[in-house]
Structure 1
Amino acid sequence: MLSLISIHVPKTAGTNFTETLRLIYGKRIHFDYGTERDLTAARTCAPSILAKPEKFRKKFDVIHGHFHYPKYAEVFGDVPVLATLRHPVARVVSQYRHVALNGDRNNDRHRKIMDGEMDVVEFSKIRFIGNAQSEFLKDMPIERLAHAIIQEHFAETVEAFCEGVGFDPNHPKIQALVAKPINSREDRAWDTKAIPLDPAAYPLIEENCADDIILYNQALDRFVGK
């Protein structure tokens, strides 16, 4: 029976967290990926689910992926919601690095980054980049969020989630998962024409992440050290 809607904001350790979900829920996870670049798709529930929501509830325990909260808010508004979060500046920098090294040249924004025509500060000015977490959680007040996985506090928040859903946080496989390094490209050579990252510019990025900074700090207050 559907018991969790899990929103994986890009570049927030959501891939690592997926392993936790697989351990707890097995194959009863509906993965919803590949739609975040299309705002309509990211916020519109599939007709097949809308047509038979009760059948879907019985088939899956979790919905997990790159979608926005409004996508399932109306049809599954009673289901607890989880989000993966990260400090906004670190998230933007990670996404910029990912595009610089692995971008899609068919995407104009990616091409500009890869060819050195857009730096990370300009990238952060895009609403769905600098404030991506607020957009993924649109219309979801922080006090209604049931769980959060926060990358900077990954082990603590994963263990708290396990406790919250009745799964042993000290299970050897959970402890192995939280001990694993979170995927990073920081050690990869900058083999790209993209404008290199300059930490001196990070305060400028933060100015473009105002909503996400508020959201992140609220999440820290609610889910860390409790």
Structure 2
Amino acid sequence: MIVSVHIPKTAGTSLRIGLERALGTRLLLDYDDRPLAQGPEHDARRSRSAAEVRADPDRLVRDYDAVHGHFIASKYLPLGERARFAVFLREPVARTLSQYRHWRRAPNAPNPIAAGIRAGAVGPGDLAELPEHRQIYAAFLGGIDLERFAFVGLAEQYDTSLALFRAIFGIDLPVLRENVGSSGAEDDGLSTGELARVKAAQTDNALMYDRGRRRFETLCTAFL
């Protein structure tokens, strides 16, 4: 079973639509966990959701060929070796700025950070420095090493990544460009100092991205 982790603003929406078209009812969407949300109520919801996976992993494997969504990858470790983990990564400064732009233009985003961005109280540097965004890749991977992932794609090399996905999983997905924003810092009118602030806050994500890029290159060599 493919366990596809959708980290925000890493081409996951395009991948989701492609998987829906390819797999239909054999795709399970898992978007309720909100891994970045803080507080006991969110912790309790994620705990309940993880317990459901532990309770009957055989049913999941029987009923679905893939699961895709915003969840912590370790949630699906109860599937054992039947779990084939997949994830897209994106250069972290570009990902952060894309997240900022997305929330700036999303009037109904249900979180206080988005509201702060829309009100002008939270800037790109503020977003980048939030603890949950400083280590967003580690948070979504849930302690699973990237070497355990059967597939690692790069948003910047989306077409090649889909070819790799097809080679590894045998699923031919359409090349889509959904929910895509611009990727240039110049579109945000960022000063040199503010951009440097974003970069400095994304050091841990940059290290994880570099590991993912190496994993991507290794997989491409093996499968393409």
TM-score scaled by length of structure 1? 0.82
Overall identity of the aligned pairs, in %: 25
Query: What SS is found at the alignment partner of 1:26?
Result: helix
Query: What SS is found at the alignment partner of 1:117?
Result: coil
Q: Following the alignment from structure 2 to structure 1, what is the Cα–Cα distance between the partners of residues 63 and 109?
A: 38
Paired residue type of 2:3: I
Unaligned runs of 5+ in 1: 188-195
Q: Following the alignment from structure 1 to structure 2, what is the Cα–Cα distance between the partners of residues 223 and 39?
A: 32
Checking the alignment, whether the CA contact within 8 Å between 2:109 and 2:115 is kept in structure 1 is yes
Instruction: Find the counterpart in structure 1 of residue 210 from structure 2.
Output: 217
Instruction: Find the counterpart in structure 1 of residue 59 from structure 2.
Output: 55
Instruction: Find the counterpart in structure 1 of residue 95 from structure 2.
Output: 91
Checking the alignment, whether the CA contact within 8 Å between 1:45 and 1:72 is kept in structure 2 is no
Distance 1:43 1:223, change over 3 A: farther
Q: Following the alignment from structure 1 to structure 2, what is the Cα–Cα distance between the partners of residues 68 and 40?
A: 14
Q: 2:28 aligns with which of 30, 38, 58?
A: 30
- Root-mean-square deviation (CA, aligned residues, Å) is 2.3
Q: Following the alignment from structure 1 to structure 2, what is the Cα–Cα distance between the partners of residues 48 and 69?
A: 15
Query: What SS is found at the alignment partner of 2:166?
Result: helix
The CA deviation at 1:23 is 3.8
Distance 1:204 1:22, change over 3 A: same
Distance 1:9 1:39, change over 3 A: farther
Paired residue type of 1:223: F
Q: Which shows bigger deviation, 144-153 or 200-209?
A: 200-209
Structure 2 residue 86 is matched with structure 1 residue 77? no
- Superposition map of 1:76-225 within 5 A: 76-78=79-81, 79-104=83-108, 107-167=111-171, 174=173, 177-178=174-175, 180-186=176-182, 196-198=188-190, 200=192, 201-224=194-217
Checking the alignment, whether the CA contact within 8 Å between 1:43 and 1:67 is kept in structure 2 is no
Distance 1:107 1:22, change over 3 A: closer
Paired residue type of 1:15: T
Q: Following the alignment from structure 2 to structure 1, what is the Cα–Cα distance between the partners of residues 148 and 106?
A: 35
Q: Following the alignment from structure 2 to structure 1, what is the Cα–Cα distance between the partners of residues 8 and 102?
A: 11
Unaligned runs of 5+ in 2: none
Richer in helix (by share): 2
Distance 1:46 1:134, change over 3 A: closer
Distance 1:41 1:148, change over 3 A: farther
Checking the alignment, whether the CA contact within 8 Å between 1:43 and 1:68 is kept in structure 2 is no
Paired residue type of 2:143: D
Instruction: Find the counterpart in structure 1 of residue 5 from structure 2.
Output: 7
The CA deviation at 1:144 is 1.1
Q: Following the alignment from structure 2 to structure 1, what is the Cα–Cα distance between the partners of residues 165 and 146?
A: 16
